[in-house]
Amino acid sequence: MEETPSITPERQALLLALSQQAAAWWRDQVAGPGYLSKFRNGDTSPAGETAQVMASLTALQSPLPAAEQFDRFEQALVARVLAFMQRDPFPTRPYEGAARYLVLSVDYAPEGELRKAAEEARITSGFPWKTTMWVNWDARPECCYVEVRAGYGRPTERLPAVAGAEPQAT
């Protein structure tokens, strides 16, 4: 049986940086009234425009959470993402791309670990509908990254590399 290497300080810092990057992105989407203008699902059809209006009206019906709630949400999400990655800190895959990923998504409400963090912070609205984030990690640091598709009709975007995950010079 293969022994799992221990988590080095560098690896711990990389996983923490990925967790922080993911949580900060979600906090930015949810915090303040600006999220109403940030929701763009990429669907320019009448149905897509209707979804935009419905998302805005739904968010407006809920009180804006206090700053402490956003802090609690971000901290809870960092802890949840980090704990998830630490279960298998050095995954490997014999082909290109990350070996493991965690999906943080919103259909009409947050799901999975994102929902649990929102519940801990008592945040019930303001999440961008139809948004999916993939937190990717691998034994190879250059295959550790966060990607987001903010709306079904939008392209997937990779967030800037975190410290320790930059491509290695050859």
Q: How is the chain split into domains, by residue range?
A: 9-158
Reduce the DSSP state of residue 126 to 3 states and report it: coil
Which of 109, 34, 27 shows the shortest CA–CA distance to 75?
A: 27
pLDDT in tens, 37-70: 455 666 677 877 777 777 777 767 777 888 999 9
Of the two residues 169 and 82, the one the predictor is more confident about is 82
- Enumerate residues 6+ apart whose C-beta is below 8 A from 140: none
End-to-end CA distance of the chain: 32
